[in-house]
DNA sequence: ATAATCCTAGACCGATCGGTATACTTTCAG
DNA sequence: CTGAAAGTATACCGATCGGTCTAGGATTAT
């Protein structure tokens, strides 16, 4: 009985990858055990609430990553630098289009209703943080809100399209274009 | 034994709505029967291949709708008029954001691998039809391809974001902005 | 009216589902 | 060295899964 995992925190990303690949309904306990190497015993030890708790922990983990690498920089840092970091972080996180956004995927089917709060919180915070950063960078109010929505939606759409066409170069290319469009909307540094 | 449905063609959109709401894995036979009113007998009469055949028929049905209302006009019609029609059709089809894109949803998880061909075909034809229409409208080659990708991705992303934030006004607003951006890239009529 | 066909209801099948319980090993503090 | 706590393996549970099958109602052509 070798120990593969030492704490819940180690189990979360393993299980997350299975949910990402199979979706919430598609990720059955047996599929999770076979792909992670964790038996049901371990799984229910770490997540007594079963699949629901696993998914909740994963969403919290994703949220924490984005808070640290995207949201807080946008909220607190120098806006231009924070936006530049956002593009790098997003491209890294989604592995240049090879990885999808689990939060977005959950939003599409009835799974959304189980996790409505964290899903809403994640996207709302992202859009709002970006909007405020744009305003601090000198973008006018209404335009900033529209840019922010457009940008976050653009990222999600690029993930869908890249996966549908099985062409992940499309994702990185789309990020570049979105970044250019955003830059073009930001007044030059005074 | 009243007859609710008279041919396979009548069953497809009913079952489609269930797949749309629950996803491929989430749509169990019992859920499908309870939501459509069609018993297993009828379902397997129309779709002897089971769930897989249902999903394939649905994808074909969706594709046919887009061919008729979006792709062929873009491919054959006057480009500016066809693009204008595309925006109307898309807003209608997705019920102003209340309905998701099943093809896009399938693309996100492992379901993609089962239906790789129709998923790829749908998006590839959309992007390509739009690209050529833009070129016929006078947009330069490379720019047309980028606009087309950006636009289709933008629509998909808007669906994700609108559902995640449970704010379908966001979808219609996003369509408007995407349309404006596209128009701005098209040279004025000579 | 009748026969052939089309369609439907639902019992039934083995497999798998999410989840529980228990017996076991490993780890580590005392 | 020992015992409690942490972590793991697996048999097992009732429910549900996708799918099959049969009996019979509805429809149509003749």
A 11-50, residues with C-beta < 7 Å of strand D: 38-42, 45-46
Distance of residue B27 Cα from the nearest chain A Cα, in angstroms: 9
Asked if the model's pLDDT at residue B56 lies above 80, the reply is yes
pLDDT digits over B167-182, tens only? 999 999 999 999 999 9
Q: How far apart are CA A87 and CA A74, in angstroms?
A: 11
Local confidence band at A115 (pLDDT 50, 70, 90 cut-offs): very high
In whole angstroms, C11 C1' to B18 CA is: 25
Q: How far apart are CA B49 and CA A26, in angstroms?
A: 20
Asked if the model's pLDDT at residue B2 lies above 70, the reply is no
Asked if the model's pLDDT at residue A19 lies above 90, the reply is yes
Least confident of B7-16, B50-59, B158-167: B7-16
Local confidence band at A8 (pLDDT 50, 70, 90 cut-offs): confident
In whole angstroms, D8 C1' to A56 CA is: 23
pLDDT digits over B63-112, tens only? 999 999 999 999 999 999 999 999 999 999 999 999 999 999 999 999 99
Distance of residue B58 Cα from the nearest chain A Cα, in angstroms: 16
Local confidence band at B188 (pLDDT 50, 70, 90 cut-offs): confident
Position B8 scores a pLDDT of: 87
Asked if the model's pLDDT at residue B40 lies above 70, the reply is yes
Asked if the model's pLDDT at residue B3 lies above 90, the reply is no
Buried b (16+ CB within 10 A) or exposed e, B139-171: beeeebbbbbbbbbbbbbbbbbbbbbbebbebb
Residue nearest to nucleotide C25 (CA to C1'): A1
Asked if the model's pLDDT at residue B133 lies above 80, the reply is yes
Q: B27: alpha, beta or left, given left = phi > 0 and alpha = psi -120 to 50?
A: beta
**Contact flag B161-A154 (C-beta cutoff 8 Å):** no
**Contact flag B150-A100 (C-beta cutoff 8 Å):** no
Position A190 scores a pLDDT of: 56
DSSP sequence for B28-78: -HHHHHHHH---HHHHHHH-TTTHHHHHHHHHHHHHHHHIIIIIHHHHHS-
B149 vs A21, A26, A161: nearest CB: A161
pLDDT digits over A152-182, tens only? 999 999 999 999 999 999 999 999 999 999 9
Query: A78, A152 in Cβ contact below 8 A?
Result: no
Element at B154 (helix H, strand E)? helix B141-164
Q: List domains and CATH numbers for chain B.
A: 8-185 (1.10.357.10)
Q: How far apart are CA A121 and CA B49, in angstroms?
A: 41
Q: Measured between CB atoms, does B175 come within 8 Å of chain A?
A: no
Tally C-beta pairs within 8 A across A and B: 146
Query: A73, A85 in Cβ contact below 8 A?
Result: yes
Asked if the model's pLDDT at residue A1 lies above 70, the reply is no
| Tokens linked to B42 | 């009828």
Nucleotide nearest to B11 (CA to C1'): C7
Q: What is the mean pLDDT of chain A?
A: 95
**For B181, nearest residue in chain A (alpha carbons):** A181
Least confident of A49-53, B7-11, B130-134: B7-11
Say whether B138 sits in a helix, a strand or coil.
coil
């Amino acid at each position: 009985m070798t120990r593969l995992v030492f704490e819940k925190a180690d189990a979360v990303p393993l299980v997350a990858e299975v949910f990402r690949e199979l979706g919430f309904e598609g990720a059955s306990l047996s599929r999770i055990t076979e792909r992670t190497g964790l038996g049901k015993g371990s799984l229910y030890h770490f997540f007594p609430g079963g699949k629901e708790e696993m998914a909740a922990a994963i969403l919290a983990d994703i949220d924490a990553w984005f808070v640290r690498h995207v949201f807080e920089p946008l909220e607190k840092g120098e806006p231009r630098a924070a936006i530049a970091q956002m593009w790098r972080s997003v491209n890294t996180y989604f592995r240049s289009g090879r990885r999808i956004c689990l939060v977005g995927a959950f939003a599409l089917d009835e799974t959304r209703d189980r996790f409505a709060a964290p899903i809403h919180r994640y996207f709302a915070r992202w859009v709002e943080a970006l909007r405020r950063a744009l305003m601090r960078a000198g973008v006018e109010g209404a335009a900033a809100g529209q840019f922010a929505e457009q940008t976050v939606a653009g990222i999600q759409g690029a993930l869908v399209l890249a996966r549908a066409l099985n062409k992940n170069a499309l994702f990185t290319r789309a990020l570049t274009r979105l970044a250019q469009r955003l830059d073009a909307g930001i007044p030059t540094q005074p």
